[in-house]
Amino acid sequence: MLQTPQTQSFYVVQALATIREEWQQAVGNTSLLEVDSNLGMLLADVINHLNLPVDLQAAILGTELFQEMKDLLKSSSRN
């Protein structure tokens, strides 16, 4: 199915709103502007919610950060 630019934009906006909501829930009553956050995790959240293929995820994060995120997710799934 071919997506229109409007459909693609809707999914991007929806993904970003979901990420914001998840981060707001995680920090409670603290403003997101006042939170020290992990940029690598934020980028990983974005590419995860956009359902990007693995090769694009690696291209966006770069080889080193992509591997670090894979290792982190692998270790956290064991706990």
What's the confidence (pLDDT) of residue 55? Answer: 92
The model's pLDDT over 2-53, given as tens digits with 9 standing for 90+, comes to 678 788 888 899 999 999 999 999 999 999 999 888 888 888 888 888 888 9
* Residue 61 · residue 43 · CB < 8 Å: yes
| Spatial separation of the C-alpha atoms in residues 37 and 4, rounded to whole Å | 34
The model's pLDDT over 52-64, given as tens digits with 9 standing for 90+, comes to 899 999 999 999 9
Left (φ > 0), alpha (ψ -120 to 50) or beta: where does 15 sit?
alpha
- 68 pLDDT tier (thresholds 50, 70, 90): very high
Domain ranges of the chain: 5-78
**Joined tokens for residue 41:** 């995790």
Straight-line distance from the first to the last Cα atom of the chain, in angstroms, rounded to the nearest whole number: 39
